[in-house]
Structure 1
Amino acid sequence: MRWAILRELAKGQSLPVVEIAKRLRTAPSAISKHFSVLYHSHIVNNEHGRYRIAPGLLSADRQSLDFGCFLIRLDRLPK
């Protein structure tokens, strides 16, 4: 589920939990739990209830997250 959340956020919009839940067809409470982990891992930021990928992680082509010591290719993640 976290991979799907990251793919949605990589599209460039900051989104609230309810919108992500709607797009992924799951309960907002489940999405909130995943966002908590992503937020505390400094992968996403929360700005007034809207989440986005933390600055500097998303590549210019929006296809990968660069953590310095490893790269996550969003286009190759399980769906």
Structure 2
Amino acid sequence: MRLKLELSKVRYYKRNLDYNMGDKRMVALGALPLVFIGWKMIRASGIFAFLREAAKFAILTAIGSMKRNFLLNLKSLISRSF
């Protein structure tokens, strides 16, 4: 019984690690277009316009990540209750 409990903990931590890595990959892929667009914005309108857009992007990405984590946690709670 104890071994089974330990194995379930290992699976839980591995799954959470996979989800976290997925979030980081999603942010990295989403940031690529921002880099290319940002370079053009810096040349056209200055560094402050670029920083403002980068801050908006960071906030939207963080909100999306929080929503995803909330839904995954809710799903796991529901599946554990049944």
Q: TM tier, shorter chain?
A: under 0.3
TM-score (norm 2): 0.24
More helix by share: 2
Higher Cα radius of gyration? 2
TM-score (norm 1): 0.25
